[in-house]
Amino acid sequence: MIKYTNIVFDDLYNNIIKANSKKYRNLRVITGYSSAIFIKKIVSEFPNLNLTIYIGMARHGILKKDHVAYCNLVKENKVKIHYQITDPGTHQKVLEFYNNGNDHIGYIGSANFSENGFGQQREVMAVLEDDLSIVFRKQAKLCLSCVDSKTSELIPISECISNNQFAMLESQIEVNQPSFDKNNIRRYENNFLVAKDSTVQYGYVAQLVPDQYDQMHSGINAEPSFIYLTGLESMSSNSFRLMVGKNKYSAYREGELNRNVMLKDEDIGNVIRKILKIPENRKVGLNTLKKIGCVKVSLIPVGFNQYTLELIKFNE
């Protein structure tokens, strides 16, 4: 059996963050993207950890709700958060835990400092013994604190999609396009789309509760709720029609890499709960969903910018 000592590719949250937060007093991070919910989780679980974060792709935009949360955390002296204000953006993922003197451990790899990078996606991080101070000094010169008054001029701070933006996108949707014959490409069993090992050969797969470490605030349990598209998606638009049974909804994508699918005027979590016969607004973990037989759904294209949502039968 091969033993890996210098890379971490499984359970990054526990094997990197939790393990090292017991040994080190400080953590500094360079990340392409991050999220307020993940940073709040770190601050809550490790209140004695001095945390400094540099968000390297900030000029691509920061959601207002994240920005407000970041600023509040900084003002409460719980964390230091910096936005990169220059181009090109920094897409590096670098972590360094350290104490005083030469006591440190570093990691570089693919994982953004977010719930996606450390809990939802397959990522890999390599262990480094090098002193990474020079990397962080260079990054600091490119950044401003998120509470600096100039950030609003240099960084796009945006709401989740506005009514005007949504109306403009919706006007581009054509509703009378030829549709696919779903019976030619899929097989059904007790109203579930049957898919071996919870995968499908056609369409887009979305997880109902993507964050295994914070299940009660993730996916259909989040506020507002969403389903999480897996893999790199190639949808032509961030706004589309979504059919669930006989009901048609206006849907859109937001969040990191636009992977969170939400409904414009409905709660997608409750729409799915109704299908699964779960009481409205009840929080459901992965174990409950596995017992029901559904942890993922599929968005199947049925026309231009039109998709139908269907349950995927869970197979161990």
Chain-wide mean pLDDT for the chain?
81
Cβ-based burial of 267 (10 A; exposed 0-12, middle 13-18, buried ≥19): middle
Least confident of 108-112, 115-119, 192-196: 192-196
pLDDT digits (tens, 9 = 90+) for 78-90: 999 999 999 888 9
Mean pLDDT of 289-309: 85
% of the chain residues with pLDDT over 70: 81
Mean pLDDT of 164-180: 37
Residue with the two structure tokens 């181009």: 87
Q: Which carries the bigger pLDDT value, residue 183 or residue 157?
A: 157
C-beta neighbour count of 104 within 10 angstroms:
20
pLDDT at 5: 61
Cα distance between residue 131 and residue 109, in whole Å: 16
Q: Is the pLDDT of residue 18 over 80?
A: yes
Find the length of the chain: 316
Q: Which carries the bigger pLDDT value, residue 75 or residue 197?
A: 75
DSSP character string of the chain? ----SSEE-S-HIIIIIIHHHTT-SEEEEEES-B-HHHHHHHHHH-TT-EEEEEETTGGG-EEHHHHHHHHHHHHTTS-EEEEE-SSSPP---EEEEE-STT-EEEEEES--BSHIIIIIS---EEEE-S--HHHHHHHHTTEEETTSTTHHHHS-EE-SS-HHHHHHHHTT--S------GGGT--EETTEEP-GGG--SSSEEEESS--TTSGGGSGGGSSS--EEE-S----S-SEEEEEETTEEEEEEEESGGG-EEEESSS-HHHHHHHHHT--TT----HHHHHHHT-SEEEEEEEETTEEEEEEE----
pLDDT at 233: 52
Residue with the two structure tokens 């919706």: 170
Q: Is the pLDDT of residue 26 over 80?
A: yes
Cβ–Cβ < 8 Å for 8, 118 = no
Mean pLDDT of 280-300: 89
pLDDT at 173: 36
Return the ∠ at Cα 78 (arms to 72 and 83), rounded to 5°: 65
Q: Is the pLDDT of residue 21 over 60?
A: yes
Cα distance between residue 164 and residue 1, in whole Å: 57
Q: Which carries the bigger pLDDT value, residue 6 or residue 51?
A: 51
% of the chain residues with pLDDT over 90: 41
pLDDT digits (tens, 9 = 90+) for 116-134: 788 767 788 999 988 899 9
pLDDT at 170: 39
pLDDT at 130: 87
pLDDT at 142: 95
Least confident of 127-141, 161-175, 201-215, 273-287: 161-175
Mean pLDDT of 192-221: 73
Q: Is the pLDDT of residue 202 over 70?
A: no
Residue 286 CB contacts under 8 Å (≥ 6 apart), including other chains: 209, 212, 215, 295
Mean pLDDT of 150-174: 57
pLDDT at 226: 95
Q: Where are the domains of the chain?
A: 7-158, 163-312
pLDDT digits (tens, 9 = 90+) for 55-75: 999 988 888 888 999 999 999
pLDDT at 172: 39
pLDDT band at 212 (very low <50, low <70, confident <90, very high): confident
The class of domain 7-158 in CATH terms is: alpha beta
pLDDT digits (tens, 9 = 90+) for 134-159: 999 999 999 999 999 888 888 888 75
- pTM (two decimals): 0.55
